[in-house]
A and B are shown apart, each in its own frame.
Chain A
Amino acid sequence: MSISDRARSLFLASMSVLTLVACGEAERPIAGADPGEPGGTVLIALVGEPRTLLPALMGHEHEQAIVEVVYDRLAEIGPALDVSDVAQFAPRLARRWEWADDSLSIAFTLDTRERWHDGAPLVANDVVRTFALYTHPLVENGTASLLGNIDSVTAPDASTAVFWFKQRAPQQLYDAVHHMFIMPSHLLADVDPAALAAAPIARAPVGTGRFRFVRWTSDGRIELVADTANARGRPPLDRIVYEPVPDVGAAMTKLLAGESDFAANLLPQTMDQVANSATVRALAYPSMRYQLMSFNLRAPGPGARPHPVLGDRAVRRALSMAVNRERIVRAVFDSLGEPAIGPVPRLGLSDTLAITPLPYDVEAARTLLDSADWRVAGPDGVRARDGVRLRVRVMVPSTSENRSRMAVLLQDQWQRVGAELVVQQLEVNTLRERLADGEYDAVTNGWSLSPGLVGLRQVWMTSAIGADNYARYGSDVVDANIDSTLLAFDTETRTRTLHRLVQTIIDDAPAIWLVEDRVLAGMHRRIEPGPPTPLGWWHGLAQWQIAPEQRLDRDRIGLRTAP
């Protein structure tokens, strides 16, 4: 699995409780053991070379894994990842926050003990500057669209930053704190936003996090050490070194050879190898991502005519019912995935039993196709109607082995009901261009939903046709219910409208929801990853520790850094 294979997420968010995968022998967690003297060096293999370490420019997971350790947010969302449950948010750079009476502004009081790694104090102007850069049109940043409800940020005094909102919404606090990492204004004051990437701080970050930046070597290694002067205390580890590798195969090699302590996004089929290694253990991070095959409901091209095959709801339902998703998931992801339910992953639904997926029923699929007048015509067993073959071309990114495998399995299963699936492996650029032009029948892709489910708008609303609504699907019922779900302040309404919209989309079958897969990572057994982290493997790095008796030579180097 390469970088581009990872689900293209709407919000960068993977979530929920970290689980240890059972792997033949019982885990012996060293939790509870006294960490003793802090110490330890963790080597992390990253697939892909980071381009920048400036929060406002970062976009890839392998950049975020570093940025999140060096920089901080104003506050962190609670472990339940409920965006509207404001009581659960934990202070970080902001000590506390107060809502205005009209709920249209929130005033954050900054923690005055916080210092930048260069010794300068944290000031409210840092927040103002951060917001200005994140939303500047020339700053290449994908999160800007998520900050749309924030009108402006002001600094009435040095330790107070006020966020002004355009309208009341349940996720106001989340919007204000979650998407931005605060950057130092004193190092960014004279920088031209259009040339932000060329600023020294982009390659030598100065943050407030519990690790500080030491070096970025010419061969791409990035070294961080514990910030001993940090207001929240020094972390248990001494040092983190990130090493870029060209692909996940090289990461795996490094991990098994003991040259790396951690690598994420390993191929699911390497699970056994990781788990059976004497030095490495397997971890699986549940996520809110799912992979699907989206049908193009409109004829390929710009127009709004229905697709000659996929425009028909009955055909789409039949094609969905012909698919044994359980079998596909077992074959490709083994224990690291579950068949996806629909447009919202399990973790986003309070009651999965309230949703009825389309059944796997080959006979029913055949009957549906027969009654829609798609009949087997030629000797190859493919159905046709009025001279049109029941043939769908599916685009698969050439970098993604797992999606190709799923497509081949789909092809095999469709064949049994007389439908032909043609797999087209495409270079990612070409694939994107065809998506933008609407020139496709179907595409395998993945989405990762944010805690607030705001992404539903971008993927399934009529207004998103031509953008990220790859199915080019439009339904008034769905549109209305998405709006109600996102704007509802009470849980009951929210749940009701959410279930209604999910069921409507599933019944219309604009896609086949294939899998909710988990992120496989390998970690050296001596490392204790600490309390479960809700957002991505890197999120808890400041809590990772290595018990003194388990330490290797490199764990005893201490804080010493070479010049």
Chain B
Amino acid sequence: MSARRRTLVPLLALACFVVLALGAPWLAPAPPNAIPADGLIQSLPPTVEHPFGTDPLGRDVLSRMLHGARVSLSVAFLSVALASLVGTTYGAAAGWIGGRVDALCMRLLDVALAVPRLLVLLLMSALWGTLPLHTLVLLLGLTGWYDVARLVRSDVRGLRERDFVLAARATGVREARILWRHVVPHVWPTLVVTATLGVANTIALEAGLSFLGLGVQPPDASWGTILRDGQLPGGARWWLTVFPGAALVLAVLTCNALGDALRESFAPRQVAA
């Protein structure tokens, strides 16, 4: 597969996911939270009417998954965007200023890394009580920037001594301007790659949190909560595990593949720079 195709395929797949999520209100065969008005409320295997079956409250799984995609994807995208912003700022500042500040910043990062992420999320969610979506985004974002910060910092440190930076400095360009015009563009590839991989990671993490009972509030759904709702041992109600699970794995896979492909395509340029 050519490098271009390797980027294009996952990119298109991701675009599909986004389109499906955005188009959920029009694409979904039923409202996601509609409980049958009469008759038995029960979980049914796939039929023509409900291609992915219904959940224990008789709601259409396909529709819930489409709407759930909005939650899962937007949580992942937004929190990674936040993490990238915080991480870049922190990493760039530490790497650029250098010296003691840098050392201190890195020690603080070590501290943050030493506390297991899941534990922090559990504690913080206890502090908050419920976890509305924006809070979840905030929490995931604020606990997900450490890697970005590290990578950006090491990039920036490398760049600081490069000729074009030294030249710019010698000609009296303001520091902030140098940082913005010369350094940030060079950090960009690293950032895009880590962010893409981060999205994959966060989608999986959000599902895991839902599995532990932390996540979007009912009646709304994310892929994780649909999975949790249907989790019965022994393969009963497989449609509640297989479909949302497959969507989850596909989305994560897509993002990882995209991240890999981007890294490949950026690599030569980085070497050339």
Direct contact of A and B (CB under 8 A): yes
A residues contacting B by CB (< 8 A) are 249, 252-253, 256, 267, 269-270, 272-273, 327, 330-332, 396, 398-399, 401, 404-405, 407-409, 411-412, 423-427, 429-430, 434
**B interface majority secondary structure:** loop
Interchain CA distance A327-B218 in the complex, whole Å: 19
Chain B 184-225 per-residue mask, 1 if CB under 8 angstroms from chain A, else 0: 000000000000000000000000000001100111000000
Q: Are A270 and B130 in contact (CB under 8 A)?
A: no
Q: Are B232 and A270 in contact (CB under 8 A)?
A: yes
How close is B119's CB to chain A, nearest CB, in angstroms?
Answer: 14
* Residues of A close to B229: CB separation below 8 A: 401
Say yes or no for B3: interface residue by CB 8 A criterion.
Answer: no
Answer whether A256 and B233 are a contact pair too, CB < 8 Å, given A330-B41, A424-B130, A425-B130: yes
Answer whether A273 and B236 are a contact pair too, CB < 8 Å, given A331-B57, A331-B58: yes
Q: Are A426 and B130 in contact (CB under 8 A)?
A: yes
* Residues of B close to A412: CB separation below 8 A: 33, 35, 219
Interchain CA distance A272-B232 in the complex, whole Å: 12
Interchain CA distance A411-B34 in the complex, whole Å: 11
27 example contacts (A-B, Cβ-Cβ < 8 A) are as follows A249-B231, A252-B233, A256-B234, A267-B232, A269-B56, A270-B233, A273-B233, A273-B234, A273-B236, A327-B41, A331-B40, A331-B41, A331-B42, A398-B213, A405-B56, A408-B57, A408-B218, A411-B219, A412-B35, A412-B219, A423-B217, A423-B218, A424-B129, A424-B130, A425-B130, A427-B125, A430-B129
How close is A110's CB to chain B, nearest CB, in angstroms?
Answer: 48
* Residues of A close to B231: CB separation below 8 A: 249
Say yes or no for B112: interface residue by CB 8 A criterion.
Answer: no
Residues of B108-149 contacting chain A, CB below 8 A: 125-126, 129-130
Answer whether A409 and B35 are a contact pair too, CB < 8 Å, given A399-B213, A425-B213: yes
How close is A391's CB to chain B, nearest CB, in angstroms?
Answer: 15
Interchain CA distance A67-B167 in the complex, whole Å: 80
Interchain CA distance A404-B55 in the complex, whole Å: 14
Name B38's closest neighbour in chain A (CB-CB): A327
Q: How large is the interface on B (under 10, 10 to 19, 20 to 34, 35 or more residues)?
A: 20 to 34
Name A431's closest neighbour in chain B (CB-CB): B129
* Residues of A close to B35: CB separation below 8 A: 408-409, 412
Name A255's closest neighbour in chain B (CB-CB): B233
Name A429's closest neighbour in chain B (CB-CB): B126
Q: Are B41 and A430 in contact (CB under 8 A)?
A: no
How close is A423's CB to chain B, nearest CB, in angstroms?
Answer: 5
* Residues of B close to A249: CB separation below 8 A: 231-233
How close is B138's CB to chain A, nearest CB, in angstroms?
Answer: 17
Interchain CA distance A409-B33 in the complex, whole Å: 10
How close is B260's CB to chain A, nearest CB, in angstroms?
Answer: 34
Interface pairs A-B: 9 shortest CB-CB = A331-B41, A398-B213, A253-B233, A430-B129, A412-B35, A408-B219, A252-B233, A423-B218, A424-B130
User: How many A-B pairs fall under 8 Å by CB?
Assistant: 73
Residues of B26-63 contacting chain A, CB below 8 A: 33, 35, 40-43, 56-58
Q: Are A404 and B218 in contact (CB under 8 A)?
A: yes
Q: Are A427 and B218 in contact (CB under 8 A)?
A: no
Name B236's closest neighbour in chain A (CB-CB): A273
Q: Are B40 and A330 in contact (CB under 8 A)?
A: yes
Name A421's closest neighbour in chain B (CB-CB): B219
B residues contacting A by CB (< 8 A) are 33, 35, 40-43, 56-58, 125-126, 129-130, 213-214, 217-219, 228-229, 231-234, 236
Name A396's closest neighbour in chain B (CB-CB): B218
Q: Are B130 and A405 in contact (CB under 8 A)?
A: no
* Residues of B close to A401: CB separation below 8 A: 228-229
How close is B118's CB to chain A, nearest CB, in angstroms?
Answer: 14
Interchain CA distance A30-B237 in the complex, whole Å: 33
How close is B129's CB to chain A, nearest CB, in angstroms?
Answer: 5
Q: Are A269 and B232 in contact (CB under 8 A)?
A: yes
Q: A252-B233, A405-B56, A425-B213 are in contact. List 11 more A-B contacts (CB 8 A).
A: A249-B232, A270-B236, A273-B236, A327-B41, A331-B57, A398-B213, A408-B35, A408-B219, A409-B41, A425-B217, A427-B125
Name A398's closest neighbour in chain B (CB-CB): B213
* Residues of B close to A331: CB separation below 8 A: 40-42, 56-58
Interface centre among A252, A330, A427, A434 (most CB of B within 10 A): A427
Interface centre among B58, B213, B214, B228 (most CB of A within 10 A): B213
Interchain CA distance A425-B212 in the complex, whole Å: 13
Name B59's closest neighbour in chain A (CB-CB): A408
Name B125's closest neighbour in chain A (CB-CB): A427
Answer whether A405 and B57 are a contact pair too, CB < 8 Å, given A331-B42, A426-B130, A427-B129: yes
Interchain CA distance A330-B33 in the complex, whole Å: 19
* Residues of A close to B218: CB separation below 8 A: 396, 404, 407-408, 423, 425
How close is A133's CB to chain B, nearest CB, in angstroms?
Answer: 33
How close is A341's CB to chain B, nearest CB, in angstroms?
Answer: 22
How close is B158's CB to chain A, nearest CB, in angstroms?
Answer: 44
Interchain CA distance A276-B40 in the complex, whole Å: 21
* Residues of A close to B56: CB separation below 8 A: 269, 331-332, 405
Name B130's closest neighbour in chain A (CB-CB): A424
How close is A385's CB to chain B, nearest CB, in angstroms?
Answer: 25
How close is B34's CB to chain A, nearest CB, in angstroms?
Answer: 8
* Residues of A close to B42: CB separation below 8 A: 331
Interchain CA distance A147-B214 in the complex, whole Å: 39
How close is B36's CB to chain A, nearest CB, in angstroms?
Answer: 10
How close is B75's CB to chain A, nearest CB, in angstroms?
Answer: 16
Interchain CA distance A256-B217 in the complex, whole Å: 32
How close is A514's CB to chain B, nearest CB, in angstroms?
Answer: 15
Name B213's closest neighbour in chain A (CB-CB): A398
* Residues of A close to B234: CB separation below 8 A: 252-253, 256, 273
Name A422's closest neighbour in chain B (CB-CB): B217
Answer whether A409 and B57 are a contact pair too, CB < 8 Å, given A273-B232, A425-B217: yes
* Residues of B close to A253: CB separation below 8 A: 233-234
* Residues of B close to A332: CB separation below 8 A: 56
How close is A525's CB to chain B, nearest CB, in angstroms?
Answer: 17
* Residues of B close to A427: CB separation below 8 A: 125-126, 129
Name A413's closest neighbour in chain B (CB-CB): B35
How close is A347's CB to chain B, nearest CB, in angstroms?
Answer: 27
* Residues of B close to A270: CB separation below 8 A: 232-233, 236
Interchain CA distance A396-B217 in the complex, whole Å: 10
How close is A247's CB to chain B, nearest CB, in angstroms?
Answer: 10
Interface centre among B125, B217, B231 (most CB of A within 10 A): B217
